[in-house]
Amino acid sequence: GATLRSPEVEVSASVPLDSYDVSASAIDSSKAIVSWRASEIVEYFRVTVYRDNGKENERVHTVRNLEGKKEVTSKYNVVITKLNPWTFYTASLEGCTSGNCSDAVNTTFVTLPKNLPAPEIGWIQAWGTSSFGMGWYFPEHDQRAYDGFRVRYCPKNAEPCFVVYTKGYTVRVAGLEPGTVFAVDVRAKFRGSDGRPLLGPSATASFTTWSKVPRARVWNEANIQDSTGTSLLSWHCINSSVEYLQYRKDHEEWKTCDASAECDVTVDYGRTGAFTSGNLRLTHQMLQNNFNIWVRCCNGYGCGEEASVQINSHISGPPSLSAVTVVQSQHSAVLRYVPQGPSAYDGLEVTWQCDQEENVVHHTTFSQNYYYDSRKEKTIEGLTLNAQHCEFFVSLYVDVGEKRYYSLPVQATPA
């Protein structure tokens, strides 16, 4: 049952060329070295270098014929020059004798770029309270020329940083802290001439993960000159879901807008977790010329950062009078008027035109602060014509700075 071995005998064998290693590596952006080992004697070697664009139509860059050595085991090296920077090449090796060549053995290499390029960030966006995404462009489209990208993101003023590797041009990351500012950089990965990994220059950006409460923005669309002083506001809330809105005026407490006579909300169709918008109707009944309205968006976690808008409630003039009557005598007219609610005004303007003076319009003003105007009555004396043949129109006005704003005129009716 024993196994017996005979003495070892040394023999010589000719091994085909394609069983040997052929290698090529870039020296710099325009040179490369092709190396191989041969274990059989040939007349010459043919080295053909192709520019490889990843398709079948490779272009020949150069062909070099090198004399074979008269040794069974031999090493060869040849330097290829005038190569294009950062280009993919194929080196093909054949052993030839008397015009007959062996099957080609191929190897590939990539020349180095003159300058390592940086990506260009196309977009970056927080996609919630704990995730973000980003995308970038890269000037080299042949992905064989580099080894993907390294993305690093770091909380500002905090440790540690986190790293993600990808072969693509986008990345999405989850598991982040809400309401946190992150700095991001992305770099391409390369291989140096010695095979060691290299990182190119970085492209940088930053983003902030959503907080758990939404952030508001608001602006004034219109003021309606009615008895309640109505303002129509547009608003939008970003970066979180919205369940209700709160508002306040200068030096007042926050109130929830709950479809009351004072405030109601209209929400645009198509709200998302990232964006909600709409309109807000608010009656303020405030008699000062300028004031601020503050709005904030709220959900189950609380209310977010507020936004404010300045309201100039009298920019279009006070509300028109509800009614005006006139008591006419031969050379005078007594005008009685009814304002809309607690409207602020600084005076009245009265214009009139009489039948016998078709092209003449008369007017007069009465300085009268609304607060002291208890009688709501004004008399025009010394009319040159019979007042019964005249039509009277009355407007309120308010003075804002150096400007005067009028309400629409209301025609007086006989009492």
- 382 conformational bin, left if phi > 0, alpha if psi -120 to 50, beta if neither: left
* 60 found inside a domain: yes
Q: Which of 291, 312, 333 is the last residue before a domain boundary?
A: 312
Structural domain tally of the chain?
4
- 255-302 pLDDT tens trace: 999 877 788 898 988 888 788 999 988 887 655 567 889 999 999 889
* 51 found inside a domain: yes
- C-beta of residue 354 within 8 angstroms of C-beta of residue 326: no
* 3 found inside a domain: no
pTM above 0.75, yes or no: no
pLDDT for position 358: 73
In terms of domains, do 38 and 65 share one?
yes
Tell which residue, 38, 15, 40, has the closest CA to residue 93: 38
In terms of domains, do 96 and 171 share one?
no
Residue 70 CB-density burial (10 A; 0-12 exposed, 13-18 middle, 19+ buried): exposed
* 374 found inside a domain: yes
Q: Which of 84, 110, 136 is the last residue before a domain boundary?
A: 110
Cα(182)–Cα(155) distance, integer angstroms: 4
In terms of domains, do 291 and 237 share one?
yes
pLDDT for position 347: 94
* 149 found inside a domain: yes
In terms of domains, do 203 and 226 share one?
no
- C-beta of residue 227 within 8 angstroms of C-beta of residue 320: no
Q: Which ranges of 163-218 does DSSP label H, i.e. alpha helix? A: none
Domain range spanning residue 397? 323-414
Residue 15 pLDDT class (50, 70, 90 cuts): very low
- C-beta of residue 125 within 8 angstroms of C-beta of residue 98: no
In terms of domains, do 105 and 148 share one?
no
In terms of domains, do 24 and 79 share one?
yes
In terms of domains, do 145 and 178 share one?
yes
Statement: residue 120 has pLDDT above 70? yes
Tell which residue, 353, 405, 19, 393, has the closest CA to residue 223: 405
Cα(107)–Cα(89) distance, integer angstroms: 9
Q: Which of 265, 293, 312 is the last residue before a domain boundary?
A: 312
pLDDT for position 227: 58
pLDDT for position 16: 44
For 38-52, 155-169, 189-203, which range has the lowest pLDDT when averaged over its residues?
189-203
Average pLDDT estimate for 364-392: 89
In terms of domains, do 253 and 279 share one?
yes
Q: What percent of the chain clears pLDDT 70, i.e. is strictly above it?
A: 90
Number of other CB atoms surrounding residue 219 within 10 Å: 11
DSSP E strands in 127-229: the ranges are 132-137, 149-155, 162-166, 170-173, 181-191, 197-199, 203-208, 215-224
Residue 236 pLDDT class (50, 70, 90 cuts): very high
For 5-19, 56-70, 257-271, which range has the lowest pLDDT when averaged over its residues?
5-19
Q: What is the CATH number of the domain that holds 50?
A: 2.60.40.10
Task: Quote the longest CA-to-CA distance of the chain.
Answer: 152
The DSSP line for 264-316 is EEEE-SS--SSEEEEEEEEE----SSEEEEEEEEEETTEE---EEEEEETTTT
In terms of domains, do 224 and 264 share one?
yes
* 327 found inside a domain: yes
- 296-327 pLDDT tens trace: 999 988 998 899 988 875 556 788 899 999 99
Residues in contact with 219: Cβ distance below 8 Å, sequence separation at least 6, in sequence order:
233, 234, 235, 309
In terms of domains, do 226 and 304 share one?
yes
Token digits of residue 224: 């309606």
Residues in contact with 194: Cβ distance below 8 Å, sequence separation at least 6, in sequence order:
none
Tell which residue, 206, 213, 169, 214, has the closest CA to residue 185: 206
Q: What is the CATH number of the domain that holds 266?
A: 2.60.40
* 79 found inside a domain: yes
Whole-Å CA distances, 318 to 265, 394, 409: 25, 13, 11
* 12 found inside a domain: no
pLDDT for position 247: 92
The DSSP 8-state label assigned to residue 384 in this structure reads: S
Average pLDDT estimate for 223-249: 82
In terms of domains, do 306 and 328 share one?
no
Statement: residue 238 has pLDDT above 80? yes
In terms of domains, do 167 and 229 share one?
no
